[in-house]
Structure 1
Amino acid sequence: MADIKFMDLSSNDNPATTDSVLIGNASDGLKRTSLGNIVNLAKIAGPALHLEYVEGTNNPASTDDMAKRTVNIQAPDVPGYTFAFWLSSATLGSVRPSYVEGPNQASTKVWIYYDPNEDIASIDPIKIGLEAVYVKSEMMQG
Structure 2
Amino acid sequence: MADIKFMNLSENGNPATTDSVLIGNSQDGLKRTTLGTVGNMFAVHGALHFEEVSVLTSTKASEVTDPKVAFSIGYDITAPAVPGYTFKCWIGSQSNGFTCGNYVINKTNSAAQVWVAAVIGSILTDSNNSVTATALYVKNELA
Aligned residues: 116
Offset, 1:35: 2.5
2:92 corresponds to 1:85: no
Structure 1 letter corresponding to 2:13: D
Correspondences of 1:93-104 after superposition (within 5 Å): 93-104=97-108
Correspondences of 1:47-62 after superposition (within 5 Å): 47-58=46-57, 59-62=60-63
Correspondences of 1:1-142 after superposition (within 5 Å): 7-9=12-14, 15-19=16-20, 35-36=35-36, 38-44=38-44, 47-58=46-57, 59-62=60-63, 69-114=73-118, 120=121, 123-124=124-125, 126-140=129-143
Unaligned runs of 5+ in 1: 21-32
Structure 2 letter corresponding to 1:76: P
Offset, 1:129: 1.0
Structure index of larger Rg: 2
Percent identical pairs in the alignment equals 27
* SS of the residue 1:16 aligns to: coil
Moved more, 73-82 or 86-95: 86-95
Offset, 1:41: 2.2
Offset, 1:37: 5.1
Please, what TM-score do these two structures have when normalized by structure 2? 0.64
